[in-house]
Amino acid sequence: MRLLELKAPNWKKWAFTDGNCITDKENGSQSIGAGIYHPQSNKITTAKPGGTSINKTIINRSKLAGIFAALINEYTCIATDSANALWQIRNSILYPQRMKQNKHVKLLETIGQHIQQSKDTIHLYKVKLMLAS
């Protein structure tokens, strides 16, 4: 954590989001889920954005769902490991006509509306998540 503390002294105030595949231990079925971790409050929030048949598009949806869940929980500094999710959000706000054919257009529009209508400035950060050994 020392390096993170040097680069971002207020990192504990950020909401760290991630989305991924969840495998049911009992029957082996797969679905997607998203989570948010807020170090300052030690709060963990989960979201189930729906979706099966795990593929790249569904994983993208889970990453976007994590960011959306952070927004509706009123976090203003949101970190993700997904450059793709940030690119999609940026393009949906700046160039909405380009994103009309995107499979997640409704989710992207909703994220964009939350960002634009927020009374606070929303900061989105791309981070590289690493597990400690």
**Intra-chain end-to-end CA distance of the chain, in Å:** 12
- Give the amino acid at 8: A
Question: Mind listing the pLDDT tens digit for each residue in 77-95?
Answer: 999 999 999 999 999 999 9
Q: Averaged over 18-30, what is the pLDDT? A: 82
Q: Averaged over 20-30, what is the pLDDT? A: 80
CATH architecture of 11-121: 2-Layer Sandwich (3.30)
Name the band, by pLDDT with cuts 50, 70 and 90, for residue 113: very high
Measured CA to CA in angstroms, residue 58 lies from 14, 85, 122 at distances of 25, 12, 25
**How many CB atoms sit inside 10 A of residue 108's CB?**
21
**CA 119 to CA 103: how far, in whole Å?**
29
Structure tokens at 129: 């998540």
